[in-house]
Structure formats: C-alpha cells, structure tokens
Amino acid sequence: MDIVLSGIRSTGNLHLGNYYGALRNFIKMQDENKCFFFIADIHSLTTHPDPKILHGNVRNVLVDYLAAGIDPEKSVIYVQSEVPEVAELYLYLNMHAYLGELSKTTSFKEKARKQPENVNAGLLTYPTLMAADILIHNADKVPVGKDQEQHLEMTRRFARRFNNFYGVEYFKEPVAYNFGQELIKIPGLDGSGKMGKSEGNAIYLADSPKDIEKKVKRALTDSGPTEPHSVKPDYIENLFTILRVVSAPDVVQHFEDKWNTCEIRYGDLKKQLAEDIIKVTAPIRDRILEIEKDEAYLHKVTTEGAEKARESAGKTVREVREIMGFKAF
Ligand code: TYM
C-alpha cells in the first residue's frame, strides 16, 4: 500500500486548478492507499502572515477539502501547524539544504520579485518545509500540479542527500503524481498563465453557478479564426484546456471541429464550458454550504487528524534524531 500525501496552502478557497491538479485523483486514491492530506498553514506565512485571516483561510480549505470528497474515515486530514514534528524535521533538513540551490528555485525567485519588501527566510526555505511535509510520512506519491514539479525534485534530492550523508536507506524518494497522467496546469480565465488564488483569474469550488457563468462569459476571446486549422492563441487554447478536463470528449471534439472550420461561436463554447464546470462544482458547493456550519465536525476531524498524523510524524522524527546522532544522557 502506497503512502500518498497532498498539501494545499491556506491562502484562499480551493479553485479548479487545485481540484484537478492535486485533489480529484487523490479522492479516487483513498481506498487503495494510505492517504494523508493537510493544510499548509505554516507555508502561508511566507506570503500572508496575518493573524486576522489565518484561521478563516485554514477553515475554508478544510471545508472545501471535505466537500470535495476527502473522507476522514479513510484518510488522515490535518493542519500542518498542529503537527510540530514537521517543523522539527524542517529544521534538521535545513542543515543539509544550501543557499545556492534554494535561491535558484523558480518559486523563490517569483515570490522575491512579487514581494520585494518581504523576502523572508521562510520563502527561501519553502522547499525544505515542503520536503519535511512529505518525508515526515515517507510518502511514495504526491499528487500535485505542474507548478510543484520542481519542489518535488528538490524533495527527492534532499531525501537522497540525507541517506547518502548518514549512510542509511531511510527516506524514500517520492514522486509527483497525477494518476498515471502528465502533471497538469489549469490556466486562468484571463488568458495568462495558471489559475491561481492570488491572480484574480480563478473559478472556486465554492462559486455559485451564476458567478461561474459570469466569470466564463468575461474570459478573453477575439473575433474568431479566419484560416481553417489555425493555431489557437493562448487565451483560446486556455479555454479548450479547461474544456478538456471538465467536458466529455465528444463535446471537446465538437468545438475543435468548429474551430478548425472557422465556425466556432465563442458564446456557445462559453455556455457549454460554464455548464460543465457547474456540473463538477455544484455538488461540491452544496456540501460546502452544509459542512461550513458544522463546527463540531470540523473540530473532530482536525483533532483526530492531528493525532494520527503526529503518530506517524513522531516515529519519523525519533528515527531521524537517532540517525543524526542525538542521544539522551
Ligand atoms: P498550492 O496551495 O499553490 O496548490 C495546491 C495544489 O494545487 C495545485 N495547483 C494547480 N494544479 C494545476 N493547475 C493549477 N492552476 C494549479 N494551481 C494549484 C498545486 O500544484 C498543488 O498541488 N507548495 C504547495 C503546498 C504544499 C504541498 C506540500 C503540496 C506544501 N507542502 C507537500 C504537496 C506536498 C503549494 O503552494 O500548493
């Protein structure tokens, strides 16, 4: 039985990118694997250190996660900061992580550019904390989107380095996983890059059908192709990328054909796209509205989750300390 671990930063509600990148396949995996899922609230402090919003953000992700189908009877669900062993392993791993490699990480360079007034050490060592999240349970598979590939590579490198340095075969080298498929990147609706919480281009699982229709309607289009079989501009390709994940293959083919014969009507495409997104999100949204009121349930899930996660994490930290040479007098 493989150990699977999935994490999401608590910086806002879950969007379609999170769902297809890291969550949907994870839900399918709950029966066949030992699954952990957690909310990366310590990671969120690298960009959003605000005590007024922290708890609310964690709560939103928790509710979205549960509503999307994570089953606490099958999987372990916890909040990162409630498992302090993670922070301890992070500290130890940092002793074998180097400034050169950390400062070259794409996500670090991006964040440093975005928030030049707050290039904190947490940002620099973000990949070490992520490695600690994964290695603390010695996970085999980590469901992630394309944007996390480099972090997973670094986790493997840290695991390998630890094993080599201490002459042990202790940590496994976890792989980024998307259910046998390529890692995916769900684009935003604004024609640029990926769908993200901070980009203002996301469709959230909690969005109402009306909001989704509005957002899809607003997506950038143009006057349509003039040459048969022409290459799609990025902003149109993006709409097709989302269509490919939410719609049936014959629907996608229909619009591909219309594109290729220059008969595409973006109004129809958007109507279909909104409809198919709503088919995915509406049942999740209904559950969100139910679960978010249930304080006792959220308390129970996180308390039991932290307890189980700490059991697994505590074992790792004890063994790592021994390997590293810590001894009691
Ligand atoms: P985060 O919170 O940005 O996103 C959570 C997960 O969603 C995926 N994702 C996407 N996938 C496809 N298309 C998109 N547009 C898109 N946007 C987000 C991400 O790849 C990710 O899998 N560093 C992580 C959180 C984390 C973590 C971990 C993940 C901390 N520790 C340990 C896995 C294992 C992050 O910022 O993801």
**What's 235's domain CATH number?**
1.10.240.10
Determine the pLDDT at residue 260. 98
Range in 131-135, 185-189, 254-258 with the lowest mean pLDDT? 185-189
Q: Identify the pLDDT of residue 200.
A: 81
For residues 152 and 54, state if they share a domain.
Answer: yes
CA–centroid distance, residue 33 to ligand 1 (Å): 20
Residue with the nearest Cα to atom 37 of ligand 1? 8
- Split into its structural domains, the chain has a count of 2
Q: For residue 268, what pLDDT band results from cuts at 50, 70 and 90?
A: very high
Residues 241 and 303 in one domain: no
- d(CA 15, CA 211) in angstroms, rounded, equals 13
Name the pLDDT band for 18 (thresholds 50, 70, 90). Answer: very high
pLDDT at 27: 84
Token digits of residue 51 = 């005590």
Choose among 40, 51, 31, 33: nearest CA to 10.
Answer: 40
Tell me which residues are annotated as active site: 111, 194, 197
Is 9 touching ligand 1 by the criterion CB < 6 Å? yes
pLDDT score at 190: 86
> Is residue 190 in some structural domain?
no
Q: What is the structure's pLDDT at 192? A: 75
* Pocket lining: 186 vs ligand 1, CB cutoff 6 Å: yes
pLDDT exceeds cutoff 90 at 282: yes
Q: Are residues 77 and 164 in the same domain?
A: yes
Q: Is residue 254 scored above 80 in pLDDT? A: yes
- Positive or negative: CA dihedral 132, 133, 138, 140: negative
Q: Is the Cβ–Cβ distance between 201 and 188 less than 8 Å?
A: yes
- Tell how far the Cα of 145 is from the centroid of ligand 1, in angstroms: 6
Same domain for 278 and 317, yes or no, is no
Beta-strand pair 34-40/141-143 = unpaired
Q: Could you tell me if residue 197 is inside a domain?
A: no
Task: Match 């349930």 to its residue by tokens.
Answer: 297
| 227 and 115 assigned to the same domain | no
Q: Does 202 reside within a domain?
A: no
Residue 147 near ligand 1, beta carbon < 6 Å = yes
Terminal CA-to-CA distance of the chain, rounded, Å? 38
Determine the average pLDDT of the residues in 189-218: 91
CA pair distance 263, 255, nearest whole angstrom: 9
Specify whether 94 is located in the same domain as 217: no
- For residue 86 and ligand 1, the question of a CB distance below 6 A is answered with no
Give me the domain span that covers residue 112: 3-185+295-324
In a domain, 203, yes or no: no
Identify whether residues 24 and 147 lie together within a single domain: yes
| 236 and 177 within one domain | no
In a domain, 240, yes or no: yes
Position 218 pLDDT exceeds 90:
yes
Q: Which atom of ligand 1 is nearest to the CA of 126?
A: 23
Domain shared by 101 and 31, yes or no? yes
The whole-number average pLDDT for the span 41-46 is: 98
The conformation of residue 95, written as its DSSP 8-state character, comes to T
pLDDT band at 289 (very low <50, low <70, confident <90, very high): very high
Same domain, 148 and 21: yes
Task: Collapse the DSSP code of 190 into the 3-class scheme (helix H, G, I; strand E, B; otherwise coil) and give the result.
Answer: coil
What is the model's pLDDT at position 24?
86
The pLDDT tens digits for 69-99 are: 999 999 999 999 999 999 999 999 999 999 9
Same domain, 113 and 93: yes
Q: Give the model's pLDDT for residue 141.
A: 95
Whole-number mean pLDDT of the chain?
A: 96
Q: Is 12 in the pocket of ligand 1 (CB under 6 A)?
A: no
Is the domain of 78 the same as that of 173?
yes
Q: Is residue 111 assigned to a domain?
A: yes
